[in-house]
Amino acid sequence: MSRQFDVRPNTRPRSDADRAAILADPGFGQYFSDHMATATWTKDAGWHDREVGPYRPFELDPAAAVLHYAQEIFEGLKAYRHADNSIWLFRPEKNAERMARSARRLALPELSTEDFLDSIETLVRTDHAWVPSGGEGNFYIRPFMFASETFLGVRPSQTVTYCCIAGPAGSYFANGVQPVDIWLSTNYVRSAPGGTGAAKTGGNYAASLVAQQEAYDHGCEQVLFTDGAERKWVEELGGMNIYFVTTDGELITPSLEGTILEGVTRDSVLTLAADRGLKPVERRISIDEVFDGIGDKSITEIFACGTAAVINPVGSLRTADAVHTVADGHPGEHTEGLRQALLDIQYGRAEDSRGWLRKVC
Ligand code: COI
């Protein structure tokens, strides 16, 4: 039984012309490359049947456990094409570690870092022609794992499917990098102490959708959640972590507390902050402190970050009663500087002094 992700080529890949048309304007999360990685776990045999084969729909029994109890986790990372045509991943080991943590929380089997990296690197090598070149195009990679046992009972699944798909991507937000308006959710929370907030599991995102819709209904692109116990402490956005720049030269982000996703971009930004003379601070920050800071201008910039969105300026925080515009509503210098610094490393334009990049081919 192979321990590696062997390639079974897609005999009907998209034509060069189709691929070129997609690469010209990929959007985000709309198109996928010709192959996907899969592996199966069973309680008795562990992980087996590793392969990178043709991209295809799953055949799933209607009684598959994931469809009923949402036992599922996922990851998001990107591959970047550098000027010399080489292709690189950004801190993929961090995603492997987080997926293992998410697996433990969701009572799913851990996939080893070796398998995680092998599945991704084999997929990227196989579909290298799909990795965009130029601009901020990237190859967004989505590893995930779900309960595939056919069984209607509430217990950890004894059959689990791992899969990794990927596709070319541009900006996460339809309008590109523009300040986004954020809706403060007062009706809903996404996580609570002891819950699954720190895990990257579909249920957290499902729980955020009604609030996300509320945000859209109020003309906002994203929703901000506070904590589940007191509804006081800022946690995170529907799909991103949040940061505040202050006149004291601090870069504040909510401390993790077990309810916030431990973002790879979040960690990278904290590290890069010092290079810009900012003091990274992880602590609890209340929504009232944020409103006061915007009001008295001691908060000069707010931005959101995540793998998909990179770093995106926040223009305003909104509630049913008020619009709190951050500074003059335009992207701040640290937001833009940090974004550029991160992208320069990812695209090989700046020295990777911390060894964050991993070459695929
Ligand atoms: C990512 O940033 O990669 C995520 O998985 C978040 C999702 C909102 C796209």
Taking only the tens place, the pLDDT of each residue in 144-159 is 999 999 999 899 999 9
Same-domain status, 324 and 220: yes
Same-domain status, 158 and 201: no
Q: Is 241 in the pocket of ligand 1 (CB under 6 A)?
A: no
pLDDT tier at 169, thresholds 50, 70, 90: very high
Q: Is 308 in the pocket of ligand 1 (CB under 6 A)?
A: yes
Report whether pLDDT(174) > 90.
no
Same-domain status, 39 and 100: yes
Pocket test for ligand 1, best of 74, 164, 224, 307 (most atoms within 8 A of CB): 307
- Does a structural domain hold residue 354? no
- The CATH number of the domain holding residue 199 is 3.20.10.10
Angstrom distance (rounded) from CA 120 to CA 142 = 9
Q: Which atom of ligand 1 is nearest to the CA of 205?
A: 8
Calculate how far, in angstroms, residue 11's C-alpha sits from the geometric centre of ligand 1. Answer: 31
Report whether pLDDT(10) > 60.
yes
Q: Give the number of C-alpha atoms closer than 13 A to the C-alpha of residue 141, restricted to the C-beta side.
A: 27
Angstrom distance (rounded) from CA 316 to CA 326 = 5
Q: Tell me, what's the pLDDT at 322? A: 96
Pocket test for ligand 1, best of 72, 75, 99, 172 (most atoms within 8 A of CB): 172
Q: Tell me, what's the pLDDT at 2? A: 72
Q: Tell me, what's the pLDDT at 173? A: 76
Decide: 227 and 188 in contact? Cβ < 8 Å: no
- Between β-strands 299-306 and 241-246, what pairing exists: parallel, antiparallel or unpaired? antiparallel
pLDDT tier at 245, thresholds 50, 70, 90: very high
Q: Tell me, what's the pLDDT at 298? A: 98
Pocket test for ligand 1, best of 78, 144, 240 (most atoms within 8 A of CB): 240
pLDDT, mean of residues 76-84: 98
Calculate how far, in angstroms, residue 179's C-alpha sits from the geometric centre of ligand 1. Answer: 18
Q: Tell me, what's the pLDDT at 1? A: 57
Taking only the tens place, the pLDDT of each residue in 250-304 is 999 999 999 999 999 999 999 999 999 999 999 999 999 999 999 999 999 999 9
Same-domain status, 124 and 203: no
Q: Is 263 in the pocket of ligand 1 (CB under 6 A)?
A: no
Q: Tell me, what's the pLDDT at 288? A: 98
What angle, 0 to 180 degrees and rounded to 10, lies between the N-to-C axes of helices 264-275 and 92-105? Answer: 140
Report whether pLDDT(339) > 80.
yes
Taking only the tens place, the pLDDT of each residue in 201-238 is 999 999 999 999 999 999 999 999 999 999 999 999 99
- Does a structural domain hold residue 207? yes
- Does a structural domain hold residue 184? yes
Range of the domain at 142: 6-169
Percent of the chain with pLDDT over 70: 99
Report whether pLDDT(65) > 70.
yes
Decide: 195 and 259 in contact? Cβ < 8 Å: yes
Same-domain status, 196 and 255: yes
The residue whose CA is least distant from atom 6 of ligand 1 is 239
Q: Is 143 in the pocket of ligand 1 (CB under 6 A)?
A: no
Report whether pLDDT(75) > 70.
yes
pLDDT tier at 3, thresholds 50, 70, 90: confident
Q: How many structural domains compose the chain? A: 2
Q: Which residue's entry shows tokens 């809903």?
A: 188
- Does a structural domain hold residue 359? no
Calculate how far, in angstroms, residue 115's C-alpha sits from the geometric centre of ligand 1. Answer: 22
pLDDT tier at 43, thresholds 50, 70, 90: very high
Residue where a domain stops, chosen among 112, 139, 169: 169
Calculate how far, in angstroms, residue 310's C-alpha sits from the geometric centre of ligand 1. Answer: 10
DSSP code of residue 150: B
Question: Read out DSSP for 232-301?
Answer: -BEEEESSSEEEEEETTSEEEE---TTTS---HHHHHHHHHHHHTT-EEEE---BHHHHHHHHHTT-EEE
Angstrom distance (rounded) from CA 334 to CA 303 = 9
Calculate how far, in angstroms, residue 276's C-alpha sits from the geometric centre of ligand 1. Answer: 26
Q: Which residue's entry shows tokens 């990274």?
A: 280
- Does a structural domain hold residue 361? no
Q: Tell me, what's the pLDDT at 177? A: 78
Q: Is 310 in the pocket of ligand 1 (CB under 6 A)?
A: no
Calculate how far, in angstroms, residue 207's C-alpha sits from the geometric centre of ligand 1. Answer: 15
Q: Tell me, what's the pLDDT at 311? A: 96
Q: Tell me, what's the pLDDT at 238? A: 93
Q: Which atom of ligand 1 is nearest to the CA of 29?
A: 9
Angstrom distance (rounded) from CA 332 to CA 2 = 51
Nearest by Cα to 123 from 51, 30, 21: 51
- Does a structural domain hold residue 222? yes
For residue 56, CA distances in Å to 125, 332, 337 come to 18, 43, 41
Q: Which atom of ligand 1 is nearest to the CA of 76?
A: 3
- Does a structural domain hold residue 1? no
- Average pLDDT, rounded, for the chain: 96
Q: Which atom of ligand 1 is nearest to the CA of 75?
A: 5
